[in-house]
Structure 1
Amino acid sequence: MHCSILRKLVFSGILLLILLTKTNLFAQTVDPNSISNEQAVEFYKKAKASGLSDMDIEQAALQKGYTLDQISAMRNRLQQAQTSAPTQANRSATDESRRKIADSTLVKVKPISKLPKEDSVRQIFGASFFENSAMSFEPNLRIATPRNYILGPDDELVVDIYGNSVDNFRLKVSPEGTVKMLNLAPVQVSGLTIEQASERIINRLRTAYSTLNRPGGGTYSTITLGNVRSIQVMITGEVTRPGSYTLPSLATAFNALYQSGGPNSNGSYRNIEIIRNGKVIRTVDLYGFLVDANLKDNIAMQDQDIILIRPYEKRVELSGEVKHPALFEVKQGETFKDVIRYAGGFTPNAYAASIQFRRNTGKELKVGSVQAEEINTLIPENGDNYRVGKILNRIENRVVIDGGVYRDGEYPVDEQTNTVKKLIKKADGLREDVFLNRAIIERKSKTLRPEIIAFDLGKLMSGEIEDIALKREDHIFIKTIDELKEAYLITVSGAVINPGTIDFHEGITVADAIFKSGGYVEGGIPYRIEVSRRIQKDTASIPSSQNVRIYSLDVDENLKLNPEDEKFKLAPFDVVYIRKSPRYEQQKAVTIAGEIMYPGTYTILTNFERITDLIPKAGGMKAEAYIRGARFYRNRELVAVDLNAILEKPSLPSNLLLQNGDSLRIPTKSETVRILGGVQNPSVVNFDPNFSFKDYISQAGGYAENAWKSRVYISYPNGRTFRTKKFLWFNSRPKVEAGSTISVPLKATKEDRQISPGERIAIISMITTVAISLFSILRN
């Protein structure tokens, strides 16, 4: 918050208490605890509206006998009320409005001048110190009393007596500068330090305690500072919130400046005068604190001190590659080096060899530059705008070698690397697999257009051609033999553990390829290995339509080749196929469950086993097995199979060959029939062998109005479905069995459509024409 919280806390209690007295709300001292937060805010507003000055209110409250403890209690109450209400920073009506950027706490003002491509809003160095609402810069009232603290009216002294006698006094310094205790004469303490005042008070107390603080006396006393008085400080000039401020007597110059919001946009951060009794006792330079953390100017304030913030005399802007770009105030005698120091120095990317600036000549702007050797001596002028640029993204002495050398990379252009041969030597020489017939240099011409210089690397290294001089940013590309050809691979597929591609090596055999692929898998056979090879140059005895050669080899299970096949070497891009044994395969199993003697999983022994062969394996069916309801599944899908029919006649096509994962479930007999679809009451009814189809429909309440009777179908437990058949005008219904589901489809409803007037005319015209024609026929 930019509002002075400390100022409100110090005076709000006093304002409230004196207002209560002046408005005669209470005949005596008011207990702050009896006042609500709402009343406190309301009384505070009335006090401000009454026109009372802070000094008048303070003096009147003290004269009415209010203690500093009561004032402190009221401060806490008003703090709660003040902080709970929404606040808004008010920098001053006289100060020009300041724009704020979300990612910065610095004050923004209009630029002195504008460099190309620069933002039109800049930052005042040091303003963030006063703009930071999260920072508290209040005086610490809980510290030990400073030895040089000067007592004054309204200060409170705490006197503790201990030892043979015990007593305690809280002595308030009167407006006349005295304190009074017991029935003793007053003691003058105003203008004294704590130590001096303690000596006077102890001397006066010896009237009542003769041995007080004497060796061997047994009675001792300590005197400390209790509540401190308030002082009045005036802050004026180029300040954000000028005015009179009431502060604790322990407040310093920085406390007062922070409460006032600091210098405004025209205020000086380096020429702040503290005036006491009409004389300037200290000139504050905030840069000493902001840059070097120097607190020498943070002196203690006294009552009626004046802080005067002068307008700035010289201010320059520094932007670009410095750590803290902003507007900086410059004192007489300071150089551009000092400005760089205030900005935190250059960033690592700063181009410090020459710094551009613009300067106001009084008539127009002129541009200039600051060379590196001038930074220590150049005296900035008011309104200068300096910009530190970035270094260029280029290297002044680099060459790059890439490819067939042992240590490729960047090298400086010097006496050891200024030619191609010298650079190759610096890179530890050429690799054994280097391609010598050609190398290239990529170079930029004088107009920065790319160009290529090609040369014979072998002849250059043997001295047959002259060495080539290198220039900055040359890039030499040297290739290896393998880089200039397609990667040589061999493909191994089939019955090996790790099928895929492997690298080609000179002299590699089929056994080597199988070995690199992990060896044979179970079932892989070492004979009938096939190698497929591309036809390249040797096309003799090859038909024109043939594009590959096929070779067949035998390899021992222990990866031993016979002498003939040992001579056969693989070529790049060969494909090696390893076959499996024709009778080797993984075990296949089927599952049978339900009303069977031995349900479980059974292995398929041959490739010709069918569904009916599974029943004997499981020991046959139990007596309660319902064969017509048996359900056969393949790949988790129901396959409609009539088990009863295929058991009676195994030659039926529905007696399927068994496959791995098939399952058969034989249930007990169901005693219900389900009726769905276009009936009045879809339901499940009991199965009765004496019921006809119509009886079951009647059990469901009969057909619905839109039932499609001719399309009724029945689904049986084994998954088979049969529909109603029609012969002439008669419907032939499927037989209802136990566990069946009768489904009655519904007819699609047709929307009634109104006949258009045109259609009515056409119909009437047609009827009229037909009637006339009939009449003519009958008449003749």
Structure 2
Amino acid sequence: MPAAAQTGTPGTFLSPPALPSTLPGGLALPSLPQAAQQDILQRILDAGAGRAVTPSMPLPSAPPAMAATPVPLPPPDEPPSPAESFFAARGAGPTCPAAPCPAAPLRQFGYDSLRGMPAGQPMGIGFGALPADYLLGRDDEVVLAFRGRARQTLSLRVGRDGMLLVPDLAPVPAAGRTLRELRADLEARSLRELGGSEVFVSIGQVRQIAIFVGGEVARPGLQPLTSMASVLDALVAAGGVRRTGSLRAIRIEGAGTRRIIDLYPVIAGEGTPPDLRLQEGECILVPPLGGVVAISGEVTRPGIYELPAGTGQAPLATVLRLAGEPLRPSGNRFLLQTTDAEGRRSLREIGPRDALRRGDSLRVEPGSDVLAQDLRLAGHVVAPVLRSAGGRAQTLRGLLADPRLVRADPYARLGVVWRTDQRTRTRRFLTFDLGRVLQGQADLPLAEGDEVILLGLPDVLFLASPGVQQAIRGDAPDASQPAQPVLPAAAPPAMAAGPIAGQPLAVASGMPGGPLASLPPGAPQAPPAATPPAPTGCAALVQLAVAAQSSPQRFAHARAAGFPDLGLLPCPQVFLDYPTLLPFLLDQSVLLTGEIRQPGLYPILDDTGLDAVLATAGGATDTADLAAVELAREPAEQAATLPLSRTIIDLRSRNFAAVRLSPRDAVRLPRGFGDRDTGPVTLVGEFVRPGVYDIRRGERLSEVIARAGGLTAQAYPYGAVFSRESVRQRQQEGFQRTARELEQGLMQVAAGQAVAGMRGSTDLSGAIQAGQALATSLRQTRAAGRMVVEANPVILAGRPDLDVLMEPGDLVAMPKRPNEVTVVGAVLNPGSLQFATGWKAGDYVRAAGGEQRFADGDRAFVVLPNGQSAPAGLGGWLSGGPPIPPGSTVVVPQDPSPYETWGFLRDVTQVLSQVALSSAALAVIVRSGSK
């Protein structure tokens, strides 16, 4: 019999000392339950008085597991149960006629909620207040705190005889009584027998019980539990119910008692929960799984559900409640797959009053998945808008009542309504003037299913892009045509033919802008982050190319040249969403070319003023000749032949509004004749006022020199460099051609040596490598574009025929009078020598150390300051040639005899001459420009 633990001396009741805030180990006592604090305090007092410590509740460092917050095991990778496999096999057939079947089979409902705890841990409430109707039993710990005359705290256990032995009181019966009854009895005895002392009764550690759990559980057998454990605690301790076991017919058997428990009200939250309390000596038996039905589709909780115990069917409403009810409040179809007496499956639609039998499967589908009375606003808008066709949105003005819906820079000349013809069920485009609608001057009634498409200026500029012009010619568009939108704009989902009334409305979740959402009045939504689509090309260009191939004359009015080169424009989002819109807009377009600030194709309505179209295109340029505006028009009548009419219109009055345009018209504003040329010329070096000068048509070099103030006293007209871009391009092409001829000559030399028996093969290899290096250098050499001209104003005054006509981009470099002559090539000491009057080329070569051993003096030449070249006259039968002027360059080539072919010799000599000329000209330009 357990002894009572009391404070103070025997027979004397003393107040216990104050409880310390922490234990020696640092454990904070205030965080412990009250019963645990009292137990620890009693142990401390007993140890201090020399008494044996009464076994009581375990230390708080290892509290028993609490059933209120179980930690379940991780879900194992268990295979599908027989019931799940059965319905999965049936789902592979015609169970899902209107929508794809789920990727994973349906799971049995409720079993994951009972996954077990690790084996060996007792289940039940360890701490916390117990209810007043708690039924005490043997080995329950009762904590008594006396106040008043008797002041002590006792921790007592109910004995095997069910009695509670309290000092100074007669044995108190406790087993089989509730906590409320025991508390009332002890309070009465304390008042009566202890001189009016108060007693406070609580339960310390509850007793341990063992409950047998058998049947379809993971770990059948005796399960250690606390006296507060419920049926759920016992099932969790047994590892949970296997999927082959029933959750709706669990038997609880005790001494002469038997009850059936249905766990669905507890797990599903439907109905009245059963009494889940356990009594000591009871056992739990889980029978095999009963009848099941499957429900899938548009319900809150698809799964496999067990029928109530003892029934073979359940009403449709009951099964729908188990599945959480359909997602739609109404308009659902219930498709039942059942089995007849011969085992054949059948599929039929059932009503709310029908019932499901064992093995049936039900799929909930929408009766009509269409969006009724809808209007869509897409394209050049802040965000796609979905509105009801009722109220103000019945017209365009009502739909566009909030101007903040439209993004900046809309194309006001034309908008499009994509409408379904109610008779033919085909889609067609209707046009309207967006500018007039926004100004309240026009309106258009809208119908159910209409899609209002607004265009932006980037969308219209795309009509004149190279990709569209290529498709108009019938060529297949480049597969690399980017499919990203020009501007990040939210748009409706891409569809080739679009949804029509009565068909499902597909909404792409990955489109730019996200799903369609209507804007609240007064607060339009900001455009969401754009999500660029996959670069699969522009479907609109493909459709345009197909249409152009089938009807070459259809887009004849849209073929043009002279559009601004905007590069490879990405396909706008509106044409990704509505590919058929691009050919339609071209049919509705008018062509503007010539002196227009933004030439291109502009979609319009019939009878649109030229002023409105010109305003959209930026207007006419200042150089336009408005006296001869050309208007080309196809006849309105569709005859066998379509003669094109052209009209010249005088619009110097700028009455552009008087010119009414129709789709497929072509307007050309010609350029007026002007005396100014299309670009400037540049004068550098020894001019009085060097710089950049505009020129007029037919202006000559002497006139430009006069405008620059003439030449300075140090100018050297004989060495002037006149560079022209067109000449430079031809010279550059000549360098490339010469390099190719040089390489061909190398191949011929190699072939000749091979025929001759590889004579001198070692020298040949080095020569070929040198020739290849020379060809590579020639390809990399920049041509100067120099023309040999006369730049001396005095000579030009007497010889007007030598005065060259200036062209835009010309460059005139006037050097100072030089005082040197340059010797390059195969000489012993190449460099620049001081000019000496009367010296010839041979004199300068001798001053440079003379010719090298392999020099070819017979082919030496002189590059004169004006760009001309002449033989140097270094041969033995010549006298050295005439005297050369300052600023000249003497070039002595190497002897080409190792190459052993006169053809190749000609190539090498030509290469050296051209490189020398370009180098000399570029050197003069650089020196003159730096001064």
TM-score (norm 2): 0.42
TM-score (norm 1): 0.48
The structure in which a higher percent of residues are strand is 1
